[in-house]
Amino acid sequence: MRQEKYKSIFIENPFSLAKTVESHGWFQLAPWEWDGEVLKRHSRMGSWMGKVEVWQTKRCQISYAADRGCPDEIKNTVIRWLSLDWDPGPFLGLCDSYDARIADFVRSGGGRFLRGDTFFEDLVKTICTVNTTWRQTKAMVLSLVDINDGFFPTPFDIMSYSDQQLGKRCKLGFRKETLRHVTNNLVSREIINQDGSLCDGRPSRDHLLSLKGVGPYTAAHSLMLLRDFSMIPVDSEVSASLKAQGIDPKDAQEAFAKWGEYRFLAYKLGRIVNKRNWLGN
């Protein structure tokens, strides 16, 4: 890719591409590629399809380039990927009171989490983490991308796949029925567009929990990636981490209650600064 033809985004707050990408395991899921410096993937934005590369040029500057021109939509998508529009100010106020280590981490550019092109992509990937191993999650997501020519499938794509494609080629197991039900419901209720982006605002927790196959973990994790940090998504791995801290997993939300709407950030960033990251290797 000819990176001399690139564009840049200037960010008001300190930002670290590496800290953002490596704060959770999404970068290990197709179609993401990450070499420690450059983030790459194939994406679709409206009628545009191509590969995008992102790298950091200065402390508060992100640059990007694409293999087929650089339409304006790419900027908004890069902002979504990296939460470049997130203001850490209110959270930092709590950090200064409760945990100076987390405050230092955020002021050094951390605190954000890599996200997909759309809410639908993040939701599907979350569904693929339920009751399975990380290795199997990576295989399921890669299969979904492989049958879609290197691009993450949209809701329209999912609805056009046969049961055989979803069941045998992607080895989704029970998630096949969950994925079909969730996709049909969110599209028919006009929660998401055909490309997987949200129509308006974020879905409610109650609505997500009403969907067959979506439990508290899936709902909380999907909303977390919409920057609703008020709930800690508790799965088996998080349960083990909480127990190691002397916290009963069923008391997770209460244990971090003083952090209010930032419970998840307090829990997750606390783990990161303690060098106990959960990349799922």
Q: Is 139 exposed, middle or buried (0-12, 13-18, 19+ CB in 10 A)?
A: middle
Structure tokens at 172: 């989704």
How far is CA 125 from each of CA 51, 65, 101, 184, rounded to the nearest angstrom? 20, 25, 30, 17
Exposed, middle or buried, 228 (CB in 10 Å: 0-12/13-18/19+)? middle
Tell me the pLDDT tens digit for each residue of 97-147.
999 999 999 999 999 999 999 999 999 999 999 999 999 999 999 999 999
Tokens representing residue 264 in the block: 């998840």
- The stretch 20-42 carries a mean pLDDT of 97
Model confidence pLDDT, tens digit, residues 146-192: 999 999 999 999 999 988 888 888 999 999 999 999 999 999 999 99
- Residue 273: pLDDT band (50, 70, 90) is very high
Domains, in order of start, for the chain: 7-84 (3.30.310.20), 119-224 (1.10.340.30), 236-273 (no CATH)
Give the tens place of pLDDT for each residue, 45-101. Answer: 988 999 999 999 988 999 999 998 888 889 999 999 999 999 999 999 999 999 999
- Report d(CA 209, CA 222) in Å as an integer: 11
- How far apart CA 127 and CA 279 sit, in angstroms, is 17
Whether the predicted model's global pTM rises above the 0.75 cut: yes
| pLDDT score, position 83 | 97
Q: Is pLDDT larger for residue 104 or for residue 280?
A: 104
